[in-house]
Amino acid sequence: MKDKSEKKPSTLLTHSGRAGASHFGAVNPPVYHASTILFDSYADIINNRGDYTYGRRGTPTTRALEDVISGLENADGTLLLPSGLAACTLALLALCKQGNHVLVPDNAYESTRSFSQKILPDFGIETEIYDPTVSDISPLIRDNTTLIFLESPGSQTFEVMDLQMIIKIAREKNILTAMDNTWASPLFCKPLDMGIDVSIQSATKYVSGHADCLLGYVSARKEIYNRLKRMYGLMGLCVGPDDVAMTLRGVRTLDVRLKRHQESALTIARWLEQKEQVKYVHHPALDSHPQHDLWKRDFIGSGGLFAIELHPCSETQIAAMLDDMSLFGMGYSWGGYESLMIPVVLLRQLGPERGPLLRLHIGLEDVEDLLEDLAEGFKRFDNASA
């Protein structure tokens, strides 16, 4: 019998984190709502002895989800956080200190960039923004550089970073790396196996998959995990049991859902490449993407999120298209079962000027229905220019 760590992802997703014998044979772990947890003896409470000592420090529900995720990430430990942003900021705070220099890519999630530039300086930590398509990161590294933050692809313009180059240089110079891997999920990219020190997810997206809860996580190997856990505990971070339970339910179908997202998104992206209103489709899995070869090297799949860059047009045209979409909703986040489309306002320091951008998340609807909705939207777009 194979060890659990050797099993395929779909099997791990189905069987990890269950411990049925501990739950009287129930397939799903119970949802433990707990703050106070009673000790058996004076000796236990004096020595803080027990698998569970206080609700904020973990329950069987949180441990079940951590077990599933650590298996997917090939991690020694996982910490659950209230959001993806909380996961990013925990990594930055836990791995940096006063006097340090941090590199953050220009295509990182806007709130991660803002935290790095507006909050970290209050702790005496300097952030430098770098071009995610840099071919050699060495010139940006200083004697006090301690962390290189990564996000690949970026979730608005979808540049793919040369991860192997950055990892190699970081290791040579004893610099830590942390990667927001939300776009690919742990199924399509495994940062820790590549040599990255911290894998970060907004589990609000694909991992939970139903647009009904907020959750993030960090996964790491033992030494780095212990550093993260110390900061995690001192900051009083924890996640509510219901969000954990909903994520534990959603992650079971991650493999099935992600493959559907991928298939439908590629069909629609290729269709959009042929539309005269579209200047460029920003999707790393397309041959036309400038870093397609890097994507093929480091990723084994793509999800449902990409962007289209339109030829010059008016806001009236964009509004005419978006306001009356029947299947594509307008809303933040992504990774749920529903399709979304929003205008993107770029707040970038580096990189080329871009035309109007629309970001699409392709959900689980029938792809022909989605194509019909887009075709009708482009008709309204064209009519608004008359």
* pLDDT tens digits along 204-263: 999 999 999 999 999 999 999 999 999 999 999 999 999 999 999 999 999 999 999 999
Supply 89's token pair: 């900021």
The CATH number of residue 13's host domain is 3.40.640.10
Residues 277 and 245 in one domain: no
pLDDT at site 365? 98
180 is catalytic: yes
Q: Could you tell me the maximum CA-CA distance found in the chain, to the nearest angstrom?
A: 81
Mark whether 150 and 275 lie in a shared domain.
no
Check if 229 is active-site. no
- 279 close to 247: Cβ distance less than 8 angstroms: no
Catalytic residue (choose from 18, 63, 113, 205): 205
Q: Do 258 and 229 fall within a single domain?
A: no
In this prediction, residue 349 has a pLDDT band, given cuts at 50, 70 and 90, of: low
Specify the pairing of strand 216-220 against strand 77-81.
antiparallel
If pLDDT is split at 50, 70 and 90, which confidence band does 171 have? very high
One of 63, 67, 106, 109 is an active-site residue; which one? 109
- Classify strands 357-361 and 340-344 as parallel, antiparallel or unpaired: antiparallel
End of a domain among 189, 219, 251?
251
**Domain end call among 221, 251, 281:** 251
pTM metric for this prediction: 0.93
Do 229 and 258 lie in one domain? The reply is no
Of the two residues 23 and 115, the one the predictor is more confident about is 115
Closest CA to 223 of 48, 124, 94, 101: 94
Does residue 207 sit in the same domain as residue 321?
Answer: no
Based on the fold, state whether residues 149 and 214 are members of the same structural domain.
yes
In the residue annotation, 51 being an active-site residue is answered as no
pLDDT at 311: 95
pLDDT mean over 77-97: 98
Are 9 and 36 in a shared domain? yes
Q: What is the tens place of the pLDDT at every residue in 110-156?
A: 999 999 999 999 999 999 999 999 999 999 999 999 999 999 999 88
For residues 72 and 214, membership in a common domain is answered with: yes
104 and 209 together in one domain: yes
Among this protein's residues, is 109 annotated catalytic?
A: yes
Report how many domains make up the chain: 2
Token pair, residue 255, equals 């493999």
Q: Which of 224, 251, 278 is the last residue of a domain?
A: 251
Q: Which listed residue (7, 52, 54, 56) is catalytic?
A: 56
**In the chain, % of residues over pLDDT 70:** 96
Domain with 336 in it? 254-383
Cα within 13 Å of Cα(279), Cβ side:
10
Kindly report the average pLDDT of the chain as a whole number.
94
The answer to whether the CB of 230 falls within 8 A of the CB of 188 is no
Q: Does residue 95 share a domain with residue 153?
A: yes
